[in-house]
Structures are given as C-alpha cells and as structure tokens.
Amino acid sequence: QQQVKQSPQSLIVQKGGISIINCAYENTAFDYFPWYQQFPGKGPALLIAIRPDVSEKKEGRFTISFNKSAKQFSLHIMDSQPGDSATYFCAVSMYSGGGADGLTFGKGTHLIIQP
C-alpha cells in the first residue's frame, strides 16, 4: 500500500514559471512533511519541510502548502530556473520519541525547466 502518492511523474515548465508538485498521504499520524531535491549522481538533499500545525512555509522561491483536512501538501517553485531541473521527492514521517520511523517517500517528479 502506497502511503504517499506524488504527482505528476514528470513536469516541464518554462523559465520564470511556477512549478507545482503535489503529494497526498493516508496516515493522519504523520507529523513531518519534507521535500527533497535530487540531482543525477547525488543523494537527495533536504529542500524545505513543514509540520502539520502550519498551513504554509516559504523559503526563498520554495513554498510548501499544507492542507491537513485533505491530507495533501504541495511544493511550489516560483520563478523556476534551469538550475532547478532535478527530481523532487515528497516524504512523510512520524516522530516516535524513541527514534524516528524513517522517511516514506513519494515516487518522485522529474522536473525540467526549459530556458
């Protein structure tokens, strides 16, 4: 059973446009929602993360929107640049106190920003 569903699988956006990637989850116990960026040959790098007690978090050109009732969260990349071309993964996790339960990842979105 896929605990987090990510869409779209691939996305092409013009330079300067807005890139939007969506994720939906099932388990309401999840309490941590990060987005990771991965370039070829590299491991995923944490981009931005949100907790369920806020509806939006912005860091530079990157914004997470979180809808707790719909169990959905999304990544918005404003003024998308060719350097943003990468694979993006959403993830979910829950804090158990004695140790994290690991990250459950979405399948990834391959983003291409056309110059």
Q: Is 115 in the site for other proteins (CB under 8 A)?
A: no
Strands 33-38 and 19-25: unpaired
Q: Is 57 in the site for other proteins (CB under 8 A)?
A: no
Binding to other proteins by CB under 8 A, coded x per residue (else -) over 68-107, reads: ---------------------x---x-x--xxxxxxxxxx
Q: Is 45 in the site for other proteins (CB under 8 A)?
A: yes
Closer residue to other proteins (CB): 17 or 38: 38
Residues forming a β-bridge with 46: 36
First to last CA, the chain: 38
Cβ neighbours, 10 Å, residue 1? 3
15-47 burial string, b = 16+ CB within 10 Å, else e? eeeebbbbbbbeeeebebbbbbbbeeeeebeeb
Q: Is 25 in the site for other proteins (CB under 8 A)?
A: no
Task: Return the range that interacts with other proteins (CB under 8 A); candidates 18-26, 27-35, 60-68, 77-85.
Answer: 27-35
Contact set with other proteins (CB under 8 A): 31-32, 34, 36, 41-46, 49, 51, 89, 93, 95, 98-108
